Amino acid sequence: MSVVMDRSPEVRKASLRAQSNQSAPVYRGPERLHVADQEWTLGNCLAKINWLHAPILVLPPLATIYALYTVPLLLKTLVWSIIYYFITGLGITAGYHRLWAHRSYAATLPVRIFLALAGAGAMEGSIKWWSRDHRAHHRYTDSEKDPYAVKNGLLYAHLGWMILKQNPKRIGRSDITDLNADRLVMWQHKHYLKIATFMAAVFPTLVAGFGWGDWMGGYFYAGVARLVFVHHATFCVNSLAHWLGDQPFDDRHSPRNHFITALLTLGEGYHNFHHEFPTDYRNAIRFYQYDPTKWLILFLSYLGLTKRLQTFSENEVQKGMLQMEQKKINERSMKLKWGTPLDKLPVIEYEEFEERSSTEPLILVSGIVHDVTPILESHPGGRAMIRSGIGKDMTAAFNGGVYDHSNAAHNLLSTMRVAVVRGGMDVETWRKMPSQDHLTGIIGK
């Protein structure tokens, strides 16, 4: 049984057509071009900036550098910053991403409230806004409609798509009716700026301030610097995870698996798997791969706090990997010389084979005529053996009658094909095998 790898050409063509439809320039009538689609000029460069996002992305790194020179970093504050990095980061990965964008599991209300608040502390927009873009990203990966398509450059996928204004009509649509019907999600969306400011800046400051009197450190390290780290860690899912690593499941699109990306992104680095099986609550499927987001979800499920963890079966996972391996084998196979295909060989009469054999070293095996010149002097079974076969049907001798040749010998034989004998393909010769014993006198002795 061979693995069905490629879809039929019809299917391929049609899906190509569909894709090119997607990225075709969109006609919008006589109205003006959206600023995002205009050429860069001195006049429009300020208008091209998204003035809501840009400060959130540019100021914290500057403030962090300022703090490093002026605000002492206490050990307690460092530990708290790291803990808060994980809390807000997991708010994005376990909450925004795996719970709401993909619904890969269900969670009880306390967990959902916790994740909605923690995720807000990462200042990456509301659940609703984030998930809408993310679903479009999955649905239109790498196309024009992908909000953070890596084909526009690594920096674009990482930051550019947020710093620059987007034409909202360009971004693919996605179905978020489930989120619109979710009261917690809508509450978070409505009060987003207040909640996010509190969770990103105020709360970490209060903890360090009331806890050990480090108000400045709490603000600058657990608040601002931590935010910078969470930002770039999660942004790496859109940039690095579409650029670095291998593609064990599907190589038609950009998502890739890499351990380093996983380390940086709390386990979201097995991104080739994730795009293939987006509703699987896991990103890493092996126990030795780093996926703390999965571990958290699984741990909470033991406590009864998360439920209905979705997985694709190992059967489906294996099939994907197998097909990619098959594809690679096929590619390698195409680079090798296997000999002239049977249907490209001239058909000759048996008499012609016998005749030509008096001047050329031709041997008949399985109805195919082989010119054994390349191996006449170097045949591993000796010159005498191969000479004895010239002008004869050596099917049985070659296949065990004299010697049961290896795969390698069969392969080599194929490269020497020069013709097919008419009616010779019916392997009638096989039935005659015992009578060929005289060739050596050894068999059946």
Selected binder of a second copy within 80, 100, 277, 353 (CB under 8 A): 277
Of 209, 200, 229, which is closest to residue 77 (Cα–Cα)? 209
Rounded to an integer, what distance in angstroms lies between the CA atom of residue 273 and that of residue 265? 15
Binding status of residue 53 toward a second copy by CB under 8 A: no
Cα(249)–Cα(189) distance, rounded to whole angstroms? 35
Site for a second copy in 383-442 (CB under 8 A): 384-385, 396, 399-401, 403-404, 406-408, 410-412, 414-415, 427, 430, 433, 440, 442
Task: Spell out the alpha helix ranges (H) of 213-307.
Answer: 215-217, 226-238, 259-264, 271-276, 292-302
Q: Choose among ligand HEM, a second copy, none what residue 386 binds, the Cβ cut-off being 5 to 8 Å by kind.
A: ligand HEM
Cβ contact 188:127 at 8 Å: yes
Sole binder of a second copy in the list 32, 332, 344, 438 (CB under 8 A): 332
Contact 291, 270 (CB under 8 A): yes
Is residue 295 close enough to count as binding a second copy by CB under 8 A?
A: no
Q: Give 277: exposed, middle or buried? Use CB within 10 Å, 0-12, 13-18, 19+.
A: buried
Choose which of 227, 262, 284, 397 interacts with ligand HEM (CB under 6 A): 397
Q: With CB under 6 A, what is the number of residues at the site for ligand HEM?
A: 28
Binding characters for ligand HEM, 190-209, by CB under 6 A (x = yes): --------------------
Among 55, 153, 346, 381, binds ligand HEM (CB under 6 A): 381
Burial classification of residue 339, based on how many CB atoms lie within 10 Å of its CB (0-12 exposed, 13-18 middle, 19 or more buried): middle
CA distance 434 to 438: 9
* Footprint of a second copy on 302-321 (CB under 8 A): 310, 312, 315-316, 318-320
Q: How far is CA 387 from the centre of its chain?
A: 54
Which residue of 91, 223, 278, 361 would you call a contact of ligand HEM, by CB under 6 A? 278
- Write the CB contacts of 327 (distance below 8 Å, at least 6 apart in sequence): 5, 6, 251
41 contact choice in ligand HEM, a second copy, none (CB below 5 to 8 Å, kind-dependent): none
Residue span 92-131 as binding mask against ligand HEM, x where in contact by CB under 6 A, dash where not? ----------------------------------------
Residues 182 to 211 in contact with a second copy, rule: CB under 8 A? none
At closest approach, how far in Å is the CB of 281 from a second copy? Answer: 11
User: Is residue 2 a contact residue for a second copy (CB under 8 A)?
Assistant: yes
Q: Per-residue x/- marks for ligand HEM, 136-175, CB under 6 A? A: --xx----------------------------------x-
Strands (E) located in 372-444:
417-421
CA angle 98, 104, 109 (to 5 degrees): 80
Q: Which of residues 405-444 bind ligand HEM (CB under 6 A)?
A: 405-406, 408-409, 412-413
CB within 8 Å of 139: residues ≥ 6 apart: 145, 172, 174
397: amino acid identity, one letter: A
Q: Are 376 and 410 in contact (CB under 8 A)?
A: no
Please pick, from the candidates 59, 178, 194, 373, the single residue that binds a second copy as defined by CB under 8 A.
Answer: 178
Residue 80 or 398 with smaller CB distance to ligand HEM: 398
Taking contact as CB under 8 A, which single stretch among the options 84-92, 201-209, 230-238, 272-280 is the one that binds a second copy? 272-280
370 makes contact, choosing from a second copy, ligand HEM, none, with CB < 5 to 8 Å by partner type, with ligand HEM
Min dist CB 108 to ligand HEM, Å, is 25
Q: Which of 256, 260, 281, 280 is nearest to 270 (CA)?
A: 256
